[in-house]
Copies of this chain bind each other. A is one copy, B any other.
Amino acid sequence: MSLLVVGSIAFDAVKTPFGERERMLGGSAVHFSLAASFFSGVRVLGPVGDDFGDEEYAVLHERGVNTEDVERAGGDTFFWRGHYDYDLNTAQTDETRLGVFGDFEPKLSDASRAAEMVFLGNIQPDLQREVREQCGDARLVALDSMNLWIETARDALVAAIAGVEVVLMNDAEIRMLTEEPNRVRSARAIMGMGPRVVISKQGEYGAALYAGDEFFALPAYPLETVNDPTGAGDSFAGGFLGYLASQGEGAGEDEGSLRRAMTYGSVMASFCVEEFGTERVRRLTREQIDERFADFQRMTALDAVPAG
């Protein structure tokens, strides 16, 4: 099933207690598409500047990502500088230079419009809604967002959410948007806006899925080494939607496929954070992904109580 991601393509400067990088490829569309590429073909739509060169394209092409809809404009690629303290759950933004991302208006090619599955990365919610409206054939559209849009464009975000099937957001942001501290009620409140599925990302505590009355939760993979959490959420989304896209018709409609998609999402997020930026995912193999999937099965297995 054809898969499209619309989001940021960026250069990131990141410092964590375990190291730093001055300039590396990042952005939601990049992390998503690399993760999804292990499961499905994926087309990426996002803006880059004059400073985005062959080396950067190569990272995407190595994984077979379709970059025909990457829009090159005069100016600089979006640049983000941030750091994390020992509490790796929260990114501290030190510098943002929007560059070409500031004027981004997604222009969808015919191939993009025909996508059957779409991930709307964290961009301005009106743009998310416009993209969704242009993708008339899409069977399943998922959306991420952030506190900035909840604070500055709440109505637009609610309108964008109304048009998608799946919302993937941070736990705290789901509560902030719905003004409901109880996590079950907050997920239901999002479903009340339109989506059928809500995925609450809980950082080092994993992720939970709400779909109608169904609930499923997975812990994060227990890693002794987490170097850089940047991109974990988008890698999760890439594993989640990439797996569903690989399953064809009906994927994402049954509980089993949603749970396996959650697990592949958790697997991809866990690899992402092991090293900086895209370093670990670039070296990843499908075999390593499947091994970690099996680890998740073992880690969560709960047998029935023995009789007697």
**Across-interface contacts of A303 in B (CB, < 8 A):** 256, 259-260
Q: Are B299 and A216 interface neighbours, CB within 8 A? A: yes
Chain B residues, Cβ within 8 Å of A222: 183-184, 208, 210, 215, 217
Contact of A297 among B296, B297, B304 (CB under 8 A): B304
Interface stretch of the complex, out of A105-113, A140-148, A153-161, A198-206: A198-206
Q: With A and B bound together, what is the CA distance between A62 and B288 in angstroms?
A: 54
Q: Which residues of B contact A300 (CB under 8 A)?
A: 216-217, 300, 302
Q: Does any Cβ of B come within 8 Å of A59's Cβ?
A: no
**Most B Cβ at <10 Å: residue of A188, A204, A304:** A204
Q: Determine if A88 is an interface residue (Cβ-Cβ < 8 Å).
A: yes
Which of A182, A210, A290, A296 has the most chain B CB within a 10 Å cutoff? Answer: A182
Closest to A247 in B: B306
Neighbouring B residues of A297 by C-beta, 8 Å: 302, 304
Which residues of A does B touch, CB under 8 Å?
A: 86-88, 181-185, 188, 202, 204-206, 208, 210, 215-219, 222-226, 256, 259-260, 263, 290, 293, 296-297, 299-305
| Chain A to chain B contacts (Cβ below 8 Å), 8 pairs | A182-B225, A184-B223, A208-B219, A216-B300, A217-B299, A217-B300, A260-B302, A300-B302
